[in-house]
Amino acid sequence: MSSRVRNFVRSLKLRLTLGVVAVLVLGMGAVATLLVQHAERDTLATQRQRQMSETVRTAQVLARRAIDLQRALQVTAAQLDPSTVADSPRLAAFIAAQPVLTEVFSSVYVVSPAGKIEVLKQRGALTFPGSDLSDRPYIHRTLEARRPFISGVVASRITGDPLIAFTHPLVRDGMLYGLLAGSLRLSDRELLADLVVDDDSGSLLVVTDLEGKIIAHPVLKDVSTSIAKQPRLNEAFAAWVAAGSAAEPSGLSLPQRDQIVSVSGVPGTDWVVWRALPTAEVLAPFAAAREGALRLVAGWLAATSLLVFGLLAWLLNPLALLSARAQHLFDGEHDPHEGWPRAQGEIGHLAQVLRHVGSERAQLEVFNSQVLRKLSSVMSAAPIGIAFTREAHFELVSNELCRMLGRSEGELLGQPVEKLYADHADYLQTLAQMEPMFRDGKPYEGEWKLLRADGSVFPAQLRGRAVDPTARAFGIIWTISDVTTLVASRERLEWSATHDVLTGLANRKLLAHRLAEVFEARAERGAAAVVVIDLDHFKVINDRAGHAAGDAMLKAVAAALTSKVRASDLVVRTGGDEFALVLPGCSPDAAMRIADAILAAVRAIALPWEGETLRVGASLGIAMLEAGTESVEAWVAQADASCYEAKRAGRGAILASPGARLLPA
């Protein structure tokens, strides 16, 4: 992405424009959404009421048709006397002479009081099947109650087709002599003609009995199946059953996902009319209107965005000019009073403030330049290293500092301070230490290892003070001293405080410190031993060959001792011709082996001196650090006592205690 595109994307004009457009979109979207939702809700409510009214009307039409069919049976039954029913030829002639019945019913038949079909007219043909219908509930109820009845969906005993039967009892002078029945095949749609229609409106009309078995459906294969299997009506049917299966003639509205469902009972029958209409079809005009409105709003927003962007670009042009001028506020190439845009309001006030800041900055730079020139003169003559740093970079360095670091002034100016440290961790620690000092208005002082240009490292004493503790941007003044000689002297003093000057071995001070450490850590490190060594026949060398020979012998003994111990052991000259060993983590057997090696090494010393060969022996006492050892003093005293006993036993021996074992020479 180019810088121009990046700047445009980040510009205030674009962000304000997007903000305005976002507010407009949110506001208009919220209002439009509320209006559309309200309109959709009202439309759905109106359509539910309309659907319910249509369902009730359909139920009433079905009720009238059922009444007409029953009335046709009633009129015919009144003409049929007992003698005619008893005479089969006359009965057949009577049924054949009833064209009205055969037109409105699929089949017409007369049933005896015993439940057998006496005569049947179906599709223009008369037959005498004699089939027994006494097991049919509607036949039984008609004969028993002596009143008209409409059956549910049943299968024809003759053809097996699903049908509905209308019955009327034959009664005269209180005597029941049969019943007259007419049936409608559901596949012919005779009862529901012009009511159940499969059109393009998306509306579905279904008629069922109270059990939910379909009597009429636009799809013939669904007739006589359960309405619970209808995906557009199954939820509504479940809700209707849960509510008690009330066949209300006034109609009900039932819940069904994505459908408007209404139901109404057919008066005088056990039938129920169901009607379903997809909500998507009802709301389709709103979807089309919403799509058109979105296109219109999108165009309007695009035009508004361009207008707002242009207006903001014109209003914010002084701010862009101010930003461009402010970028050169501190570079010193422009007159601090020139180049500022003329504007009113907040932008004009900001331009005045920045102009004032630029003027003050220019005056401060002049003052700083004067101070730096004076400081540079002082630093060139200073006998110590001096540096002025700002933002952790060198801005001034003295000649002595350049000499100390082996670098020229040009190599140091502008470089980060951390490059002079031998270890970056030391630089970070310096920062951590000096920050709280400067915050409290105190100078910082520390000793660190610095790096010369040739890669050599030297210790330096650093002292620093912030020019202004409250304004760190003003920088820090440093003095740097090479303290190589001082550090070496200090290290020599520190070494001599814990070591014997003649032999280079540890002295009593370091011995006491190491013994205390081992004693405190006895639980973790385990066994430890102290070996006390007293040279035999050393006084003879001093008396006969002189102190120089004695010193030479002590050095030889120190070398012999050091060569026979482990790296973790400590060899100590405790004074005169006495030595000691501290053996941490050492078992009794290992301590005895080391003592044997020490004794052999001392005996093996043959020091040539003025034509003679000088020799010494040694007596050694070993004391183990046990769980019952009370103190360091008791431990050492035990070793001293063992050494004394070894010497008293004849010299040149090793005595280990506790459990004293004497190893003679």
How many CA atoms does the CB half-sphere of 395 hold within 13 Å? Answer: 16
In the three-class reduction of DSSP (H, G, I as helix; E, B as strand; rest coil), residue 292 is classed as helix
Domains and CATH numbers, the chain: 63-186 (3.30.450.20), 382-489 (3.30.450.20), 497-663 (3.30.70.270)
Query: Could you tell me which residue, 376 or 307, shows the higher pLDDT?
Result: 307
Question: Are the CB atoms for 645 and 660 separated by under 8 Å?
Answer: yes
Between 166 and 282, the more confident residue is 166
Lowest mean pLDDT among 10-14, 119-123, 175-179: 10-14
How high is the pLDDT of residue 36?
67
C-beta of residue 268 within 8 angstroms of C-beta of residue 59:
no
The pLDDT value given to residue 169:
94
What the block records as the tokens of 541 is 């060398």
Q: Which of 53-67, 169-183, 477-491, 606-620 has the lowest mean pLDDT?
A: 477-491
Q: How confident is the model at residue 665 (pLDDT cuts 50, 70, 90)?
A: very low
Q: What is the pLDDT of residue 101?
A: 85
| Nearest Cα to Cα of residue 361 among 322, 392, 320, 328 | 328
Average pLDDT of the residues of the chain: 83
Q: What would the mean pLDDT of 137-160 be, rounded to a whole number?
A: 85
Q: Is 123 helix (H, G, I), strand (E, B) or coil?
A: coil
The pTM (predicted TM-score) of the whole model is 0.44
The residue whose two tokens read 């039967």 is 165
CA dihedral 150, 156, 161, 165 (to 10 degrees): -10
Q: Is the pLDDT of residue 661 over 70?
A: no
Average pLDDT of span 389-402: 86
> What is the rounded CA–CA span in Å between residue 475 and residue 391?
7
Does residue 555 surpass a pLDDT of 90? yes
Q: Under 8 Å CB-to-CB from 83, ≥6 apart: which residues?
A: 90
- Tell me the angle at which helices 547-563 and 538-545 cross, rounded to the nearest 10 degrees: 140
Spatial neighbors of 61 by CB under 8 A, at least 6 apart, are 195
- Confidence tier at 564 by pLDDT (50, 70, 90): very high
* HSE, side-chain direction, 13 A CA sphere, residue 429: 11
Given a cut of 80, is residue 515 above it in pLDDT?
A: yes
Specify the pairing of strand 444-451 against strand 607-609. Answer: unpaired
Pairing relationship of beta strands 107-111 and 528-536 according to DSSP bridges: unpaired
Both tokens of residue 383? 């006998």
* pLDDT given at position 659: 47
User: Is residue 152's pLDDT more than 50?
Assistant: yes
Q: What is the pLDDT of residue 626?
A: 84
Q: Is residue 380's pLDDT more than 90?
A: no
- Better pLDDT: 332 or 501: 501
Q: Which residues contact 242 (CB under 8 A, 6 or more apart)?
A: none
pLDDT at residue 640 in the model? 93
Residue 23 has a CB neighbour count (10 Å cut-off) of 10
pLDDT at 664 over 50: no
Q: Give the pLDDT confidence of 300-314 residue by residue, as tens digits.
A: 878 887 887 788 777
Q: Is the pLDDT score of 641 beyond 80?
A: yes
Q: Which long-range contacts (CB under 8 A, 24 or more apart) does 308-311 make?
A: 308/16, 308/17, 308/20, 308/21, 309/13, 309/14, 309/17
Average pLDDT over residues 8-20: 71
Looking at residue 201, its pLDDT comes to 64
Q: What is the pLDDT of residue 660?
A: 45
At 582, which helix (H) or strand (E)?
strand 578-584
- How far are the Cα atoms of 66, 99, 166, 483, 634 from residue 72, in angstroms, in the given order? 10, 11, 10, 134, 136
Nearest-angstrom CA–CA distance, 269 and 246: 13
Using alpha carbons, select from 21, 70, 460, 406 the residue that is nearest to residue 266: 70
Of 69-73, 106-110, 198-202, 424-428, the range with the lowest mean pLDDT is: 198-202
Nearest to 538 by CA among 481, 617, 598: 617
Q: Residue 2: its pLDDT value, please? A: 66
Who wins on pLDDT, 14 or 581? 581
Pinpoint the alpha helices (H) of 214-337. Answer: 234-242, 279-315, 317-326
Write down the pLDDT at residue 363. 72
Q: Is 168 helix (H, G, I), strand (E, B) or coil?
A: strand
- End-to-end CA distance of the chain: give it in Å, rounded: 92
CA atoms in the 13 A half-sphere facing the CB of 444: 24
CA dist 545 and 536 (Å) reads 16
- List, for residues 621-639, the tens digit of each pLDDT value: 999 998 788 899 999 999 9
In angstroms, the CA 651 to CA 620 distance is: 9
SS3 state at 534:
strand
Q: How confident is the model at residue 406 (pLDDT cuts 50, 70, 90)?
A: confident
- Number of residues assigned to the chain: 665
pLDDT at 662: 45
